[in-house]
Amino acid sequence: MFSILLSRIGQSALTLIAISFAVFAAVFLIGEPAALYDPLVREDPARLAALRAELGLDNPLHIQYARFLADVMSGQFGQSWVYQEPAMKVILERLPATLELVGCAIAIAFCLGYPLGLISGLKKPSRLSAAIERVAVLGYSAPTFWVGLVLIYIFAVGADALPSIGRGDTIQILGVRLSVFTADGLSHLILPAVTLSLYEIGYFTRMISTMTEETKHKTFISFAHAKGLPMRRVISNHLLKAVSAPLVTIVAIETGALIAGSVITETVFAWPGVGKLLVDSVAALDRPVIVAFVILTAMAFLALNLLADIAQMLMDPTLRPKRVAA
């Protein structure tokens, strides 16, 4: 198992290198970096050449890439052109807000989607399951920005019950600023988290419902009934185990997708997270921040997948190496 993990980590490293190259190449596609860095030099060939030499852009591509890679390895993503701070620092300052939002959204989605999917899958075919499925489809086909606007209209504008802009009060916990633990912060969190989770609730419900229905027709479930186990025990001990193992991967992938895709929700609610930062940076062509963001997201994805692999290996004995040499 240890060696499997090591090889997974090795694979992740290779993926990361591939992504770094893609990012590096994409940077060149945006335009001449020296000209973008300082628009004033664009018209003057002499100053442009001087700046290129200063920035190392006159080196061959592979040397530039090697330097870029070396910098990335040591955590150097360059200075943000807009904030005049290290790009990574700018991102890391805003990351907790996004992680908090995504964490809450996933938690809501899981806590609602899991039982709903389970009920729908177990009761299938029935009116109840059909109703749950229909609502779930509605949940993941409604566009996020629209849901966000509707929620703001109802709860912030209409009822004036919940705030719709920013994070509210935050407190420092273990060096990280979080809103969940203050009443004001929590009230700010509710609307964006619900908006972000709506798609995932629908997705989880559908997914778990399908897996549950598939599993309940498996022979080992019939056999568990035939053994005389009560329904409750068949579900808790046999069905849930089979449903939960593949679920870990789904949760991990969706978490990664939300981190990268919270942009719209963060923009709608002016949530000061990395999503909003990314939109601002793209608008301002703040290249170091974009590069750092892409690489960080890739790392988050890979880390989550690795965690999911480990969790799945712990939950599913058939994925573990056999204890009998085959």
Partner 1 sequence: MLKIHDLNLSFENGQSSAHILKDFNLTVTAGEIVALVGESGAGKSTVGAAIGGRLPPGGKIMSGSITFNGERLDSFSPTQFERIRGAEIGSIFQNPLSALNPFETAGRQLIETLIIRGGVARRSARERAITLLRRVGFDDPEIILPRYPHELSGGMLQRVVVAIALSCDPSLIIADEPTTALDVSLRNGIIELLRDAAEASQIGVLLITHDVSVVQAAAHRVCILHKGEVIETGATSDVLANPRHPYARRLISSVPPPTGKLKRLQNPPLSTLQPNSLRLDRNDSRAATGVVLQDVSVRYAGKRNIFLKQTTDLYALKNVNLSAAPGRILGIVGSSGSGKTTVARLIAGLADPTAGRITFTHAVEDKSGGSANAPTVDEAVASPTDAPLVQMIFQNPFASLNPRYSVFRQLIDAPKKVAGMSRADAEDQAVTLIEAVGLARNDLDKYPHAFSGGQLQRISIARALSMNPSLLICDEPTSALDVTIQAYIVDMLKDLNDAFGVTIVFITHDLSVCRHLCDDVVVLNRGEVCETGSTLDVLDAPKHRFTQRLVLNSNVCQRIDDRKAQAIKGAGSPNAGGTDDGELLSRIQSA
Residues at the interface with partner 1 (CB under 8 A)? 3-4, 6-7, 10, 218-220, 222-231, 233, 237-238, 241-242, 245, 315-318, 322-326
Buried b (16+ CB within 10 A) or exposed e, 155-179: bbeeeeebbbeebeebeeeeeeebb
Neighbouring residues of 108: CB distance < 8 A, sequence distance ≥ 6? 193, 194, 197, 200, 201
Residues 90, 277 contacting (CB under 8 angstroms): yes
Q: How far apart are CA 269 and CA 105, in angstroms?
A: 14
Q: Taking the CA atoms of the chain, what radius of gyration do you get in angstroms?
A: 24
- Residue 247 CB, nearest approach to partner 1 (Å): 13
Residues 204, 114 contacting (CB under 8 angstroms): yes
Question: Residue 278 to residues 11, 81, 292: CA-CA distances in angstroms?
Answer: 28, 13, 10
- Residue 265 CB, nearest approach to partner 1 (Å): 36
- Residue 312 CB, nearest approach to partner 1 (Å): 11
- Residue 316 CB, nearest approach to partner 1 (Å): 7
| Closer of 194 and 243 to partner 1 (Cβ) | 243
Torsion (CA) 25, 29, 34, 35 in degrees, nearest 10: -170
| Closer of 8 and 47 to partner 1 (Cβ) | 8
| Closer of 311 and 315 to partner 1 (Cβ) | 315
- Residue 248 CB, nearest approach to partner 1 (Å): 13
| Closer of 62 and 217 to partner 1 (Cβ) | 217
| Closer of 159 and 226 to partner 1 (Cβ) | 226
**H or E stretch at 177:** strand 176-178
- Residue 313 CB, nearest approach to partner 1 (Å): 13
| Closer of 120 and 179 to partner 1 (Cβ) | 120
